Amino acid sequence: MLRYFILFQCFQIIICILYPLVDPNRLYDYNPPENEVTFHLYDRKNFSKNYEIFIGNSTSFEQTQFNTDEPTIIIIHGWTHGNDTPWVRELAEVLAGTNFWNVLVVNWSKLSRVTYVEARLHNTVVAKQVKKLMIFLAETKYYSMSSVHIVGHSMGAQIGANAAQRIHIEIGEKIGRITGLDPAAPLYEFPHIESLDEVLDPSDASFVDAIHTNAKHIGMITPAGHVDYYVNGGQQQWGCNTWRCSHIRACELFIASIRKPDLFKAFSYDSWVKFNDKITNSLEVYPMGIAASPKIPFGIYFLEVKDEYTKYVSSKTSLMDSYGSYFGEMQLLNLF
């Protein structure tokens, strides 16, 4: 079984290399049904309950606790994940528990639990559905897009950027904030840079911040926001032996920042080497995570994080949570 898992990973790499050379639409069905993208509003009193919201259906909003006087956070997961993935559930629950935000989760798991290239091709339909829902909300509830904060992990960050661009083009309103949690690099940053319409950048929202934890590998190394945080240099995280572990760490750190907004203190430096060579006590410190804001001078920031975040995160997203849909839980257990 292990050899099949390794062959599968090799197949992903080969297809990614060939992506700019061949027409991927010939390899995959690029017409997924729109109803495979669903939207779920979390109940603030009962976290086990969430309401499914339907585009064009005002009643589906009226039957929920959606409050037009409060800001909204939209969570978008990445490849192989869904609204049942541990980090997604915990992030939604901790946000809903603050009673400050409407918390909406975009579930595109039926389109994400496929090969990486196929999921990449599905980005457009997911972004279009997010755009449609937001415009429906703006037109029927007179809800300002400046009150919307998109939090996307990996491929979800790129989908959020695409949706935000489409919203701005169609109704002339900019999303208030986008937070990219280790925005995906394969087929966005390499083997070549994609159009800025499809890659997170500062033009996508009034404020864009990005947390880099697996740069040069699964995540982008290129600055993607007004403010970019490179945790432990942005590539390898404390206690991690795999890229996947470092990639997920961005989600865990963001969750921890909600429970303790002043936990992470970042410093402005040109590089990780300079950060390590200089004394940081005399420099201005700025928060990373939920407390980040346009008040922070735009630029690149570095910080060291070890295990201090762990007491503020209760979930753990395992290898089975990411790849179990391919091989089945018991089969994946047999690999190790």
Instruction: Choose, from 147, 149, 153, 182, the residue flagged as catalytic.
Output: 182
110, with CB counted inside 10 A (0-12, 13-18, 19+), is: middle
Query: What are the two backbone dihedrals, phi and then psi, of residue 104, each rounded to the nearest 5 degrees?
Result: -120, 125
Element (H, E) at 268: strand 265-268
In degrees to the nearest 10, what's the CA dihedral of 182, 311, 93, 79? 30
Q: Which of 204, 247, 257, 321 is catalytic?
A: 247
Residue from 109, 112, 154, 315 carrying the catalytic annotation: 154
Q: Strand pairing of 148-153 and 72-76?
A: parallel
Active site residue 154: yes
Cβ atoms within 10 Å of 239's Cβ, excluding its own:
10
Amino acid code (one letter) for 76: I
Our CA dihedral for 190, 194, 197, 198, rounded to 10 degrees, sits at -40
- What is the rounded distance in angstroms from the CA atom of residue 60 to the CA atom of residue 69? 18
Q: Which token pair is 156? A: 């979800």
Q: Give the list of residues 6+ apart from residue 242 with CB closer than 8 angstroms, or none.
A: none
Does the active-site annotation cover 112? no
User: Would you say 248 and 317 are in contact if contact means Cβ atoms under 8 Å apart?
Assistant: yes
By the 8 A CB rule, do 219 and 186 touch? no
Q: How far is 61 from 137, CA to CA, in rounded Å?
A: 9
Closest listed residue to residue 17, CA positions, set 125, 159, 107, 117: 117
Give yes or no: 247 in active site. yes
CB 220 within 8 A of CB 158: no
CB atoms within 10 A of CB 157: 33
C-beta of residue 224 within 8 angstroms of C-beta of residue 210: yes
**Active site positions, annotated:** 154, 182, 247
